[in-house]
Chain A
């Protein structure tokens, strides 16, 4: 059977999703054997930008015209386009001030007089521009999710990821509830699980890096945090760290 061809690329991002592939130290050699690595500038020279890919794993948010044309290219050239990581799926860390500060003001803050020369718009997820066939969430993504996806693609299908909140795994690990028992600003109730509650398990509240869980009861989380004494401003600041497009009135 012909090996599926694979493209791995990044837009506005920290390269952490691509590094997650390198971090599969035990499986990397087999992945490189079972796929034809057609485009992967971070790991392989002389990429051929003109070809067709069976799968494209693309990380990062879309924040420049260059990002957008790269995204269109990967969409057009690929049978399956995978939004790889929280930035690609929800906008991520770079988008956190999209609602609060206009882009030109942010650019001026950092680049001063050169700001007007830069082509940069509010970072946005892929779904604002193209259709996406599957997604892996997380900042960083879980290695297991990446391996499940690659394995499923080899078997001619796509994986079904869980659609329950972080709290479910957190409770089954019998962690102390940081929200109710420690009065900490934990976002577990509204955030996509699948990380096995890594952060609360070490005593650190969920910062929301995996984005909203399906049918999140956002309004209820907001009310709960308000009654616990957090200010609306502080809650929104924390919730927007990885996902800025929350509907604070949403009830599931």
Chain B
């Protein structure tokens, strides 16, 4: 007789989800991941709002990625309105995105994932049983947050980064403080890489199709997407390459890119653009075998490497900002409404994030579209859950379910982001 094992709520992930495994005796019939977050309706909330309001509203889609949602929205609106931005503004955004990545990866690795490695139930157990490790992880997270607060004006939903500029440029004192903070955690970054070299102790998963933004001048944003070795996908034409559809048992949507099931995030980024040179390049030579060409089991190590990469890049950016032109204050321009459409893609901590908007002549939003990393990963996650369940067939249901939940955590899903749909 068939039975269903359910994990509700999924724990140590952002947002609300349920995992169901349908069993026929010990045989796994099917695995269902339901993103049960309430409908958020952000695209509909934006319609009729002014172009200037769009970035402030859309960043509330998710707290963990609010900075990158805000920057992606700014870039898309700036493209629609053809607004230029100064070097100070570009560098400030780049630095705050590194801050966001540091805080998000450190939260995921040390508060959500580490309990699995140490076989405890969560962050409260860590505080009792591994206080020094938790303290180190929180110190790293705090430096990311310090960058976000100093440059963004507050920790979540940053206000100081705005259309065409910054409200107030970071002072020299602020930059010195940030540099000291970053330098103090560099040793923790290398320890983190060693800590997360411990693999995921389960059978191999399906081979991923890596998808990432082609970055260049910026480490986060770019004009095209790379899907394995296929020709680049221009961000402006993303709708033609990405097909999305609603999922029956979920409030999120699934996506394919050029017909393939994509995997986005740290693992995809480090596979498509492996770190070369410098301290991270050296470390990658030593540990990169567990990332290159690997399935999702390598994602935590990839995030750990990116933590180190972001800390070093942030330190360099602070130096650049210390030397910039004092005349370039980054003051935002006077904004005038105009008709136009724009789209932008950024690497969020969890992978490719795309925003697209259209405005009418009075600057009011007439179309809004957001594609999040978690919806791009959804199909790969479901495929991998089934592959893992089949690979572990015969295991005790409790053991099987624990492994599946741990796999969900490897993807680092952001469920409140994923829960929205667009009209296709």
Contacts and interface: CB of A to CB of B under 8 A. Distances in A.
A106 B38 contact: no
Given A25-B145, A29-B131, A204 B11 contact: no
Given A42-B14, A111-B421, A16 B142 contact: no
Contact of A20 (B11, B38, B111, B155): B155
A110 B43 contact: yes
Nearest to A86: B60
Contact of B422 (A14, A32, A41, A110): A110
Given A14-B66, A22-B107, A94 B41 contact: yes
B127 interface: yes
B62 A94 contact: no
B63 A15 contact: yes
B39 interface: yes
A107 interface: yes
A241 B48 CA distance: 13
Contact of B38 (A11, A15, A45, A202): A11
Interface stretch (B116-124, B261-269, B283-291, B384-392): B116-124
Interface stretch (A60-68, A148-156, A216-224): A60-68
B60 A139 contact: yes
Interface string B34-51: 001111110111011110
Nearest to B13: A42
Nearest to A113: B246
Interface in A2-48: 10-20, 22-23, 25-26, 28-29, 32-33, 37, 40-47
Nearest to B141: A25
A63 B127 CA distance: 34
A191 B134 CA distance: 37
Interface in B404-419: 405, 416
Given A139-B157, A140-B155, A94 B45 contact: yes
Contacts of A203: 167-168
Contact of A118 (B39, B115, B121, B135): B39
B24 interface: no
Of listed B57, B60, B420, residue having the most chain A CB within 10 A: B60
A45 B62 contact: no
A120 to B, nearest CB: 5
Contacts of B123: 22, 28, 32, 40, 43-44
A81 to B, nearest CB: 19
Contacts of A241: 53, 56-57
B423 interface: yes
Contact of A109 (B57, B135, B157, B423): B423
A41 B53 contact: no
Contacts of A14: 60-63, 66, 416
Given A25-B142, A97-B45, A198-B154, A43 B122 contact: yes
B64 to A, nearest CB: 6
B44 A140 contact: no
Nearest to A112: B423
B50 A20 contact: no
Contacts of B145: 23, 25
A110 B122 contact: no
A243 interface: no
A83 interface: no
A13 B155 contact: no
B41 A107 contact: yes
Interface string A115-145: 0001010000000000000000001100100
Contacts of B131: 29
B74 interface: no
Contact of A237 (B49, B154, B159, B160): B49
Given A15-B62, A93-B60, A202-B167, A67 B15 contact: no
A44 B125 contact: yes
Contacts of A77: none
Nearest to B138: A25
Interface of A: 10-20, 22-23, 25-26, 28-29, 32-33, 37, 40-47, 63-64, 66-67, 93-94, 96-97, 101, 105-107, 109-112, 114, 118, 120, 139-140, 143, 198-199, 201-204, 207, 209, 234, 237-238, 241
Interface of B: 9-16, 36-41, 43-45, 47-50, 53, 56-57, 60-64, 66, 107, 111-112, 115, 121-125, 127-128, 131, 134-135, 138-139, 141-142, 145, 153-157, 159-160, 162, 167-168, 246, 251, 405, 416, 420-424
